[in-house]
Amino acid sequence: MTLVEFPAMALAAVVCWLVGSLLQIPARTTKALGLLSWSFMISGTLVLVWFLTSYWIALERPPLRTLGETRLWYATLIPVVGFLVESRYRIGWLKYYCMGLAALFLGINYMNPDVFQKALMPALQSVWFVPHVVVYLVAYVLLAASAVSGWHNVILNFRDKRSAKAESMSHYLALLGFVLLTFGLIFGALWAKEAWGHYWTWDPKETWAFISWLAYLGYLHLVARKTDPKTLQWYLGLSFFVLLVCWFGVNYLPSAQNSVHTYSG
Amino acid sequence: MAEKKSTGKAGSGQAGFNGAALFTLAAVLAGLGIELMTTGGGLAIPGWPFNLVFLLLFGGAILAVGLIFREHPMVTWLGGIPLGLSLIVGLALLSFVGGVLPQESVVNGVLQHEKFPTGSLVASLRLDGMFSSWPFALVTLFFLFNLGLTLVWKTFPFRLANLQFMLFHGGFWIALSCGLLGNSQLQRFVVPIDEGRATNVAYDRDTERALHLPFSIFLKDFQIDQYAARLALYDPRTDQVIESNSKQMHDISKGATAEWPGVGSLTVLDYFPDALPDSHGIPVPVEGKNGFPFARVRLEVGGVVSEHWITSGGPQLKPQFVPMGDYYIVMAEGEPKAFRSEVMVMGEGGERVAALLEVNKPVDFHGWKLYQMGYDEKAGRWSTLSLVEAVRDPWLPAVYVGFFMIMAGNLLFFWKGIKKMEEA
Ligand code: HEM
């Protein structure tokens, strides 16, 4: 499958999520509808999994090279986190944010279509390519979810509806995200040594990866200091903006002129 | 432990944080002051063996202070989380400046203050060379001191329960200190070699100074593999390539088709990756990689069908393209897929090692790592010049020990996190 089919597939996914979400309303009273609602929501994600797989096959390389390709992964994986959180914590609201975020990413891809290009530059042809990028992807997905729930908790706190369960959820999402961020950073360094001759050169992308890692390191140590979780929800919500700079904001910074790492496209 | 005990005084509460923030600010200002006085000269890490001596003295001092003055409130504060957090924030802010402002780089042996001329405030404060500047160095030094103290307290007495802590913090301490101190001994040279020649002349990547390596490299053969050549519709007015309705890069192969709505369509009738024109100008396939890519295409523009040969050209052959409406159908050479050098490395003692250098596949030779770095890009796939990079980094094993400790700690942390999450 190529990008010609993308708009149809994206629309199908968004429609599935939308129908599934709307079905949640009558599902509160009718159990059978709950099942139907979940089938729709999961189907939406399965459509994307299918598209991603066949796109990978058609490209003859992992679709992890361009920004658009990484957005496709986020759109596929973020709702999964929402679904898993619901099954684990019985917290339902996160999945709607996640599906909304995923729909936003699909929309961005629709507005800025990628060019279907098989070429993969030699530096990217490495055993490290897939683990490094995938680990980072999953880290970003988890930290995006923790940021969303951080904001949600901030709102709950304003309305005096503080939920310890929701705070513990945002904490564990951030914790798992930090673990993967650390792996991603080190995998990146090990790969850079093999591909570019040195593991760390303070390239803008590396610098921003370091800053975002420090941001979450700061979070963990604030937790170790028994900082008020109410304050930490703000922290989690804001930290994600640092990650966003690292993900694609770097390309627009003055420092990016001589970066080797920025995504093409 | 130490923190919990000390949560009475300096280490706790808002006061602890204010003091720590002030301390960090002082370190940054002191660093900026030094830069101003030296007009942004930066900091040169001492070379061998002084870097090792420094590391041992610094590590020894941390150990001694941590063990002897363990109960001293000043020391518990120096090793406490409030200071650690402030220094993390300081490090993040300095990195932020270094991650936003373009950083200086050395091109052809000349230091480029790209945006910031010598004498400008940014250059005088060395904000364009952040990662070798005094403020960055001072904050890092205190960071390592603080982290080191915590580490000493968690390590003595040894408790298995602290293993994850030791791996994380110890690994980071080792990787950071050894990475920074080892940087003064890092050597990166470019070795340009022509096919059929041997050389031991290398150029410093930063200063372009030439020197002789303790070994020489003979280049038997340099090869480039390319992706298939591509078809594109070129707009001469905007100097841009127009996308077809399939949003594809059109790899050329026999039978491939492409359509540009409102302009026309095209079918590839024949494709020769390597061909030369015969005496009538008709391309004939040739052996080896001595020819040029040619394709015979059938165009359909507004109902009119025509057939043409096109080529991307190369040395001594002009590219051939055909008009399609207001545009041109052109052939673009495929992007490089892989390039490699078949070499023989010869040591001073006379030993010879045959090796294949390829991107992402460096080869080790007597403490050096040899990388396929580049080639003559103007000549493209006809390049007979290979650029090899030779790198020596004696501190690499120490840094990697740090990396692997962090990863081991990370695994334990993950496992513990999952377990706690199950309980929550
Ligand atoms: C300024 C230096 C640092 C200091 C003073 C410091 C201190 C501490 C302390 C006291 C704890 C609490 C441990 C416990 O209660 O058992 C902790 C936790 C932790 N630190 Fe650090 N640390 C520093 C830097 C780092 C760095 C550079 C890393 C990463 C490589 C790191 C990773 C962690 C992790 C993952 C935890 C566990 C947090 C948790 O259990 O929730 N720390 N640190």
Q: Compute the C-alpha angle B175/B180/B182, nearest 5°.
A: 90
Interchain contact, B102 vs A257, CB within 8 Å: yes
- pLDDT of B33 over the 90 cut: yes
Q: What is the pLDDT of residue B208?
A: 80
Interchain contact, B99 vs A114, CB within 8 Å: no
Q: Compute the C-alpha angle A19/A170/A140, nearest 5°.
A: 75
The whole-number average pLDDT for the span B335-346 is: 93
| Residue-range domain boundaries for chain B | 12-156, 189-225+337-392, 228-334
Q: How confident is the model at residue B257 (pLDDT cuts 50, 70, 90)?
A: confident
Distance, C-alpha B271 to centroid of its chain: 38
Strands, DSSP E only, in B256-379? 257-260, 264-277, 283-285, 292-301, 304-311, 322-324, 327-332, 336-347, 352-358, 363-365, 368-375
- Separation of alpha carbons B353 and A73, rounded Å: 44
**Cα B84 to ligand 1 centre (Å):** 9
- Separation of alpha carbons B314 and A84, rounded Å: 56
Residue having the nearest C-alpha atom to atom 32 of ligand 1: B168
- pLDDT of B281 over the 50 cut: yes
Residue identified by tokens 């055993």 is A127
- Calculate how close chain A gets to B11, using CA atoms only, in Å: 10
In this predicted model, which residue has the larger pLDDT, B206 or B172? Answer: B172
B81 lines ligand 1 (CB under 6 A): yes
Q: Which of A195, A207, A218 comes nearest B85 by C-beta?
A: A218
- pLDDT of B12 over the 80 cut: no
Which atom of ligand 1 is nearest to B406's Cα?
30
Contacts of A200 in chain B (CB under 8 A): 179
Q: Which of A115, A121, A190 comes nearest B403 by C-beta?
A: A190
Among residues of chain B, what percentage have pLDDT more than 70?
91
B146 lines ligand 1 (CB under 6 A): yes
Q: What is the pLDDT of residue B6?
A: 37
Contacts of B381 in chain A (CB under 8 A): none
User: Under a CB-based contact definition with an 8 Å cutoff, are residues B257 and B235 in contact?
Assistant: no
User: Under a CB-based contact definition with an 8 Å cutoff, are residues B247 and A3 in contact?
Assistant: yes
Contacts of B91 in chain A (CB under 8 A): 214
Q: Which amino acid is at B226?
A: Q
In terms of Cα–Cα distance, which of B176, B99, B87, B94 is closest to B135?
B94
Contacts of B396 in chain A (CB under 8 A): 193, 199
Please spell the DSSP secondary structure of B352-381, one letter per residue.
Answer: EEEEEEETTB-EEETTEEEEEEEE-TTTGG
Three-state secondary structure call for residue B129: helix
pTM of the model: 0.91
Q: What is the pLDDT of residue B246?
A: 62
Model ipTM value:
0.91
Q: How confident is the model at residue B10 (pLDDT cuts 50, 70, 90)?
A: very low
Q: What is the pLDDT of residue B286?
A: 85
Q: Which amino acid is at B151?
A: L
- Give the residue on B whose Cα is nearest the Cα of A200: B179
Interchain contact, B102 vs A254, CB within 8 Å: yes
Interchain contact, A218 vs B417, CB within 8 Å: no
Q: What is the pLDDT of residue B113?
A: 53
Among residues of chain B, what percentage have pLDDT more than 90?
57
Beta sheet of B385-392, edge-to-edge order: B352-358, B336-347, B210-226, B198-204, B187-194, B385-392, B368-375, B363-365
- Give the residue on A whose Cα is nearest the Cα of B388: A197
Q: How confident is the model at residue B390 (pLDDT cuts 50, 70, 90)?
A: very high
Q: How confident is the model at residue B264 (pLDDT cuts 50, 70, 90)?
A: confident
Q: How confident is the model at residue B2 (pLDDT cuts 50, 70, 90)?
A: very low
Interchain contact, B403 vs A186, CB within 8 Å: yes
Contacts of A182 in chain B (CB under 8 A): 406-407, 410
Three-state secondary structure call for residue B262: coil
Q: How confident is the model at residue B247 (pLDDT cuts 50, 70, 90)?
A: low
- Calculate how close chain A gets to B35, using CA atoms only, in Å: 20
- Calculate how close chain A gets to B375, using CA atoms only, in Å: 13
- Give the residue on B whose Cα is nearest the Cα of A251: B100
- Give the residue on A whose Cα is nearest the Cα of B402: A186
Interchain contact, A258 vs B105, CB within 8 Å: yes
User: Under a CB-based contact definition with an 8 Å cutoff, are residues B369 and A197 in contact?
Assistant: yes
The whole-number average pLDDT for the span B391-406 is: 97
- pLDDT of B242 over the 80 cut: no
Question: pLDDT digit string (tens) for B106-161?
Answer: 554 455 555 677 778 888 899 989 999 999 999 999 999 999 999 999 998 899 99
B84 lines ligand 1 (CB under 6 A): yes
Q: Which residue positions in chain A have pLDDT lower than 50? A: 262-265
How much is the CA Rg of chain A, to the nearest whole Å? 19
- What's the token pair of residue B36? 């101003």
**Cα A81 to ligand 1 centre (Å):** 27
Contacts of A116 in chain B (CB under 8 A): 246-249
Q: What is the pLDDT of residue B1?
A: 32
B3 lines ligand 1 (CB under 6 A): yes
Interchain contact, B391 vs A197, CB within 8 Å: yes
- Calculate how close chain B gets to A26, using CA atoms only, in Å: 31
The whole-number average pLDDT for the span B239-257 is: 74
The whole-number average pLDDT for the span B355-362 is: 96
Question: pLDDT digit string (tens) for B70-111?
Answer: 999 999 999 999 999 999 999 999 999 999 998 876 554 455
Residue having the nearest C-alpha atom to atom 10 of ligand 1: B81
B51 lines ligand 1 (CB under 6 A): no
Mean pLDDT of chain B: 88
- pLDDT of B290 over the 80 cut: no
User: Under a CB-based contact definition with an 8 Å cutoff, are residues A32 and A8 in contact?
Assistant: no
**Cα B412 to ligand 1 centre (Å):** 13
